[in-house]
Amino acid sequence: MARITPRKGLLNITPYKAGDAKIDGFDRVIKLASNESPLGPSPKAVEAIKNRTDSGLQLYPDPTCRELRQAIGEIHGLKPEQIICSAGSEELLHLLAKGYATDGDEVIYCQYGFIAYPITIYAAGATPVMVQEDNFTANVGAILAAVTPKTKIVNLANPNNPTGTYLAKSEVARLRQGLRDDILLVLDAAYAEYVAQDDYDAGFDLVDNGMENTIVTRTFSKIYGLAGLRVGWAYGPKSVLDILHRIRGTFNVGTLSQAAAIAAVRDVDHVAKAKAHNSKWMPIMSQTLENLGMTVTASQGNFILVHFAGGPDQATAADQYLRSKGIIVRPVGNYDLAGALRITLGTDCENEALCAAMSSFFS
Ligand SMILES: *Cc1c(COP(=O)(O)O)cnc(C)c1O
């Protein structure tokens, strides 16, 4: 009997497993599993949504996100015509893979790189090529060595999730310089706003270098606290944006999402507050957990990768123990990091609860 069959490669995809949001028996949990903002969105973004719900929801949203691109352009000093908006930046990662790689093409990503990359690559029908990292950090030399005549795209999360490590501006420039001009470099800067290193740069300059082969993706899901609204954007060459526009969903960013994102991007004080909160807790959390015997990978994001001396068994036991206290963190066995947990920095109270629970786990 003839059967319908999915496209080649799709069954290689391990479906994405989101961080849990509930624990049986708990009315409320402390969720430190998905790198969401503990401060939530700007009150101005919430206000903007309320103002929009009164009328107009029967109408399709602006398919070009004109006002939102204008606002992003103003705040970041970018040309609105080189900005594209999307339903979360993950949509852009899919569109880029689909737009520039197909059967037989290779797409490079890093060993502990964001788990969405292999999914987008298989979904496009292309072949993922995973490159070894060095001390949980992307290795430019190794990436360049992995390039073949079939390479079409290199994906780099900078800073990366789940490791929190980053590459300096000079390293990213060296990567771009070492890649052939006909290889698209996708710089995923979902955590750019959190970075406090002078030598970091999200990569807008590389987009402007004239070769039309670099794009930078950004998101409203992390520091802006709007993960529930699904808004991402990218700054890229017009020629690449033209391809993305051809294949994206026409009305991919909803009316309320656009309204909230416009207010959120303009509220630079709220972003600064969220960054300050993160910068305050990053050393405290890292030090507290290291004092308990864990190894913490230095992170530029709003989360830390915590390695257990006792390996996968201990990491699993710690995860279970935290759950018994109503705290959800992220196991990262799907990244081949079963001996570690990824912990998102939360509110003051949540961070204190996490540290207290870890302390009692080890006592
Ligand atoms: C969270 C995250 C994203 C953003 O996803 P959205 O679809 O914008 O919510 C992109 N890249 C990385 C590395 C992330 O961690």
pLDDT at 53: 86
The percent of residues in the chain predicted with pLDDT above 70, rounded, is 100
Residue 8 pLDDT class (50, 70, 90 cuts): confident
- pLDDT, one tens digit per residue, over 148-187 is 999 999 999 999 999 999 999 999 999 999 999 999 999 9
Ligand 1 atom nearest the C-alpha of 220 is 8
Distance (angstroms) between ligand 1 centre and the Cα of 55 equals 31
Asked whether the predicted pLDDT for residue 280 surpasses 90, the reply is: yes
Q: Is the dihedral of CA 339, 342, 345, 346 positive or negative?
A: negative
pLDDT at 54: 80
- pLDDT, one tens digit per residue, over 66-75 is 999 999 999 9
Residues 6+ apart with CB under 8 A from 260: 41, 45, 46, 48, 49, 220, 226, 229, 231
Q: Distances from the Cα of 253 to the Cαs of 55, 83, 176, 249, 333, in angstroms? A: 17, 14, 31, 9, 33
Distance (angstroms) between ligand 1 centre and the Cα of 107 equals 18
Topology of domain 43-267, per CATH? Aspartate Aminotransferase; domain 2 (3.40.640)
Does ligand 1 come within 6 angstroms of the Cβ of 190? yes
- pLDDT, one tens digit per residue, over 27-55 is 999 999 999 999 999 999 999 999 988 87
Does ligand 1 come within 6 angstroms of the Cβ of 257? no
- Cβ-in-10-Å burial (0-12, 13-18, 19+) of 20 comes to middle
Q: Distances from the Cα of 35 to the Cαs of 161, 189, 227, 298, 333, in angstroms? A: 9, 14, 10, 16, 17
Nearest to 30 by CA among 359, 323, 338: 323
- pLDDT, one tens digit per residue, over 116-146 is 999 999 999 999 999 999 999 999 999 999 9
Residues 6+ apart with CB under 8 A from 72: 78, 80, 83, 85, 233, 265
* Contact between 89 and 233 (Cβ < 8 Å): yes
* Mean model confidence pLDDT for the chain: 97
Looking at residues 260-265, what average pLDDT do you find? 98
Ligand 1 atom nearest the C-alpha of 231 is 8
Distance (angstroms) between ligand 1 centre and the Cα of 93 equals 9
- Cβ-in-10-Å burial (0-12, 13-18, 19+) of 5 comes to exposed
Determine which residue's CA is closest to atom 14 belonging to ligand 1: 190
Which tokens belong to 227?
A: 């993960």
Q: Give the integer Cα–Cα distance in Å for 323 and 320.
A: 5
Looking at residues 198-203, what average pLDDT do you find? 98
The percent of residues in the chain predicted with pLDDT above 90, rounded, is 94
Q: Give the integer Cα–Cα distance in Å for 21 and 330.
A: 11
All structural domains of the chain with their residue ranges: 10-31+269-362, 43-267
As a three-state string, the secondary structure of the chain is: CCCCCCCCCHHHCCCCCCCCCCCCCCCCCEECCCCCCCCCCCHHHHHHHHHHHCCCCCCCCCCCCHHHHHHHHHHHCCCHHHEEEECCHHHHHHHHHHHHCCCCCEEEEECCCCCHHHHHHHHCCCEEEEECCECCECCHHHHHHHCCCCEEEEEEECCCCCCCCCCCHHHHHHHHHHCCCCCEEEEECCCHHHCCCCCCCCCHHHHCCCCCCEEEEEECCCCCCCHHHCCEEEECCHHHHHHHHHHCCCCCCCHHHHHHHHHHHHCHHHHHHHHHHHHHHHHHHHHHHHHCCCEEECCCCCEEEEECCCHHHHHHHHHHHHHHCCEECEECHHHCCCCEEEEECCCHHHHHHHHHHHHHHHC
Ligand 1 atom nearest the C-alpha of 232 is 8
Does ligand 1 come within 6 angstroms of the Cβ of 36? no
pLDDT at 17: 82
pLDDT at 28: 93
Looking at residues 59-63, what average pLDDT do you find? 97
Determine which residue's CA is closest to atom 6 belonging to ligand 1: 88
Which tokens belong to 53?
A: 């719900």
pLDDT at 21: 86
Global model pTM greater than 0.85: yes
Query: Which CATH code of 3.90.79.10, 3.40.50.720, 3.90.1150.10, 3.40.50.300 fits the domain covering 10-31+269-362?
Result: 3.90.1150.10
Does ligand 1 come within 6 angstroms of the Cβ of 89? yes
Asked whether the predicted pLDDT for residue 103 surpasses 90, the reply is: yes
Neighbours of 93 (CB within 10 A): 26
Asked whether the predicted pLDDT for residue 271 surpasses 90, the reply is: yes
Q: Give the mutation target among 94, 165, 187, 222 for probing the ligand 1 site: most ligand atoms within 8 A of CB.
A: 222
